[in-house]
Structure 1
Amino acid sequence: MDIFSMPAVMLPLAVNALVLIITLIYGCREDIRERAVPVVMWYPALAIGIPMLIWFWYSVAEAGDLRMMMPLIPLILFFVVAFYLFTRFNLMGMADTKALILITVLIPCFPFAPVTGYPIFGFPPYVFLPFSVLFNAVVINLILPVTFFIMNVIRGNRAPLPYLFLGFPVQGSDIENQFGIVMEEFTEVNGELQRKFIGVGAAIKDLVAGGKRVYTKSLKEHPERYRKELALYRKAGTVWISYGVPFLIPITGGLISALFLGDLFGFLIRLVVS
């Protein structure tokens, strides 16, 4: 990788990449602390990114390379629509969608060749970046369940096997200060507390349908609405919740790793072929 010898046409994309990395790191900080990303956070990225994007496309046209970029335009449109639909069907948060759409639009190509070289999807130097960011983010996100499984085994936490990968127990008295989604259902019959895990399939179906899953954020923001649930959680002692690592963190890691290390998908293909 040689950042300093990157084509001049890629300079505006390099600026956009730097601005988005700073923006996303700040967004991760806010998402962890406040469980929400302020809308104003995106304004500086847009204010800088749009002029840089215009400069980039003008430079591409001036260089006579617009024809080489044509195959990437349908990919850009497809990814933007796909990310919107992810949010529409409750598969992704609004902040995550905004981040991925901004990456797709403002940094459609690698500003410079990463360590492992350019991946597929494009003609150097116009190689599609968003797919690499998304794939790397998914890989980073998939590492988390293994981490939680190891943590639960070490701590001796007991639960059906799938749940050992999906979450961990927290104190019911402090659940509103945690970050995640409640994985158990509680009922009280004749003064006796009964509990059961929510089925994984049912939880996913409910999540997609925008159902009544209990988010710990809601417990903190609307305690009066969840008085009954909070009382049961406190009586239970511990409550299992799914891990609530914001997807914005893997997205940020995916962008940084894609820019500098390259596309993990392409790297795995080359590893298998060789």
Structure 2
Amino acid sequence: MDPFSIPVIMIPLLVNGVVLLLTLLYGCREDIRERAVPVVMWYPVAAIGVVMLIWFWFSVISSGDISYMMPLIPLILFFVVAFYLFTRYNLMGMADTKALILITVLVPCFPFIPLTGYPLFGIPPYVFLPFSVLFNAVILNLLLPVFFFLLNVIKGNRAPLAYLFLGYPVRGETIADEFGIVMEEFKEENGELTRKFIPVRTAIRDMLSGGKRVYTKALKEKPDKYRKELEIYKKAGVVWISYGVPFLIPITAGFLTAMIFGDFFIILLRLTGL
């Protein structure tokens, strides 16, 4: 079977994939702009998805392929429970969990053969798409520091080496519209403003212990509480913040890359000759 050729039985999953991708792209836009994903955006994809799933599983049963597809069912159940627990123990946001659960339930396997072929042997459970989506999302998320380092180098942004990987400068006047955590400390004495980068170890310790960190989201939601900070950031002109890319973006990118290119894990194995 040629890449991108679609068996009739997989058409419902392809429809789900397209609708889900459009929904995820919209969710990424809202997550960046508003720092929140509207709940109502999940309703259309859920409604369409249920209809397509009924069509898909009816086709599977009618064609006699139910025994072939059965390994998908325990995998679906396992991943749905796992993603729920991620949110239950604050390891993942609610929107991220909803996205991964919908991917798992609505598009449990590849609707067509990706460019690099099916993962491993190409039979269930090895065509299980959600695992490839999650793996690709994690890999893409890990590459973000490299992306920001290159971006800072290209733009000529100057900072200690570690901070070039962890953040980027933004205008103090519009910092409340950005997405991230302030990476600098400011003091104003006798009209003179001094600044220094927060040590990376201190920043990590503060986050783990619930220490005081200034989130740009809080600046937007509680401007009265952070009035002094906002005035200082405006005087500073430029403020460094850590990147705060919502995980929904890597999930969406992982979903798209998995559908088109396949599993990055298999690609890495092939590149390394293993």
What TM-score does the superposition give when structure 2 sets the normalisation length?
0.86
- Aligned residue identity for 1:33: R
Query: Does the C-alpha gap of structure 1 residues 112 and 126 become closer, same or farther in structure 2, counting only changes over 3 Å?
Result: farther
- Aligned residue identity for 1:58: F
Q: Name the structure 2 match of 1:258.
A: 258
TM-superposition CA deviations, 1:104-134 (whole Å, max 9, x none): 1111111111111100386159710011112
Deviates more, 1:73-82 or 1:17-26: 73-82
Q: Which runs of 5+ in 1 are unaligned?
A: none
Q: Does 1:220 align with 2:220?
A: yes
Q: What does 1:189-268 correspond to in 2, within 5 Å?
A: 193-204=193-204, 206-207=206-207, 212-268=212-268
Deviates more, 1:163-172 or 1:49-58: 49-58
Please give the secondary structure, in 2, of the residue aligned with 1:123.
Answer: coil
Please give the secondary structure, in 2, of the residue aligned with 1:127.
Answer: coil
**Equivalent pairs, count:** 273
Whole-angstrom distance in 1 between the partners of 2:58 and 2:259: 23
Q: Does 1:144 align with 2:135?
A: no
TM-superposition CA deviations, 1:201-228 (whole Å, max 9, x none): 5544554666653221221121012123
Q: Name the structure 1 match of 2:119.
A: 119
TM-superposition CA deviations, 1:71-119 (whole Å, max 9, x none): 3334323322333343344443322221111111111111111111100
Query: Does the C-alpha gap of structure 1 residues 207 and 123 become closer, same or farther in structure 2, counting only changes over 3 Å?
Result: farther
Q: Name the structure 1 match of 2:23.
A: 23
Q: Name the structure 2 match of 1:67.
A: 67
- Aligned residue identity for 1:135: F
Q: Kindly indicate whether the alpha-carbon contact (under 8 Å) linking 2:119 and 2:266 is maintained by their aligned counterparts in 1.
A: yes
Q: Name the structure 1 match of 2:107.
A: 107
Deviation at 1:46, TM superposition (A): 0.4
What value does the CA root-mean-square deviation take over the aligned residues?
Answer: 2.8
Q: Name the structure 1 match of 2:131.
A: 131
Runs of 4+ in structure 1 displaced over 6 angstroms? none
Q: What does 1:15-94 correspond to in 2, within 5 Å?
A: 15-94=15-94
TM-superposition CA deviations, 1:36-69 (whole Å, max 9, x none): 2211111100000112223323333333433333
Whole-angstrom distance in 2 between the partners of 1:184 and 1:41: 36
Please give the secondary structure, in 2, of the residue aligned with 1:168.
Answer: strand
- Aligned residue identity for 1:138: V
Query: Does the C-alpha gap of structure 1 residues 273 and 155 become closer, same or farther in structure 2, counting only changes over 3 Å?
Result: closer
Whole-angstrom distance in 1 between the partners of 2:38 and 2:153: 37
TM-superposition CA deviations, 1:3-60 (whole Å, max 9, x none): 44x3332221111101101111222222233332211111100000112223323333
Q: Kindly indicate whether the alpha-carbon contact (under 8 Å) linking 2:4 and 2:113 is maintained by their aligned counterparts in 1.
A: yes
Q: Which runs of 5+ in 2 are unaligned?
A: none
